[in-house]
Chains A and B, each alone.
Chain A
Amino acid sequence: GDSVTQMEGPVTLSEEAFLTINCTYTATGYPSLFWYVQYPGEGLQLLLKATKADDKGSNKGFEATYRKETTSFHLEKGSVQVSDSAVYFCALSDRRGYSTLTFGKGTMLLVSP
């Protein structure tokens, strides 16, 4: 079945540091890929998505590129802020038919001033 593997956290960075959170996936079809973010005390929010190979999703300074050859969708940001502290979830949905999301375990990011 489909699965998503993302790096375990917590990831601890200083403000303005470069961020990478690795995500790899296994899917039988051609999935759409998503990054969701959960800020403390809040619900899941879509951060960015990509629906086909080589697409780059971007939002709020975050980027991720859909790499079919390496089955990866790594999240990057050039300069993190304290306000980016949250849990980040990589997810996929099978593009055939309906689309339940398969999530990774989540990676907690802690950014200190």
Chain B
Amino acid sequence: GAGVSQSPSNKVTEKGKDVELRCDPISGHTALYWYRQSLGQGLEFLIYFQGNSAPDKSGLPSDRFSAERTGGSVSTLTIQRTQQEDSAVYLCASSWTSGGQETQYFGPGTRLLVL
């Protein structure tokens, strides 16, 4: 596709369940980023991938959060034992390279609601 896609677009889950969020970056983009957008915290960085490696995981809020990227393309963000405070919109972005001047292109996000 032409842009970054994410699935599902909406996810409702019960507290304590695990969820997986998927991101398909723009073809050829080597850098991939996950962010979280919530009412209280605004937009926060979670994790960055260069290829299949994650040099920076510093934004992951707890060890319940993990992410992987395979084939230098698709990435999955997994949240284990979800909590209500995990409710947010999870955004994925990609860019050609990881240089500071590169434009990041964002997907539409996955809206997660934990009941």
Contacts and interface: CB of A to CB of B under 8 A. Distances in A.
Interface of A: 31-32, 34, 36, 42-46, 49, 51, 89, 91, 93-106
A98 B50 contact: yes
B50 A32 contact: no
User: B interface, by DSSP: helix, strand, loop or mixed?
Assistant: strand
Contact of B45 (A36, A96, A100): A100
A31 B42 contact: no
A5 to B, nearest CB: 11
B33 interface: yes
Interface of B: 31, 33, 35, 42-43, 45, 48, 50, 55-56, 59, 91, 93, 95, 98-109
30 contacts: A36-B106, A43-B108, A44-B93, A46-B104, A49-B103, A51-B101, A93-B101, A95-B100, A96-B100, A97-B98, A97-B100, A98-B31, A98-B48, A98-B55, A98-B56, A98-B99, A99-B99, A99-B101, A99-B102, A99-B104, A100-B33, A100-B48, A100-B56, A101-B45, A101-B93, A101-B104, A102-B45, A103-B43, A106-B42, A106-B43
> Which 10 residue pairs of A and B lie closest in terms of their CB atoms, listed nearest first?
A95-B100, A98-B98, A103-B43, A99-B100, A44-B106, A43-B108, A100-B45, A51-B101, A105-B42, A93-B100
A84 B65 CA distance: 36
A86 to B, nearest CB: 14
Given A89-B43, A98-B56, A101-B35, 9 more contacts: A32-B101, A43-B107, A43-B108, A46-B105, A93-B100, A94-B100, A95-B101, A100-B33, A104-B42
A95 to B, nearest CB: 3
B45 A46 contact: no
Contacts of B50: 98
Q: Which of the listed residues B56, B59, B102 has the most CB atoms from chain A within 10 Å of its own CB?
A: B102
A107 B106 CA distance: 18
Contacts of A103: 42-43
A102 B41 CA distance: 12
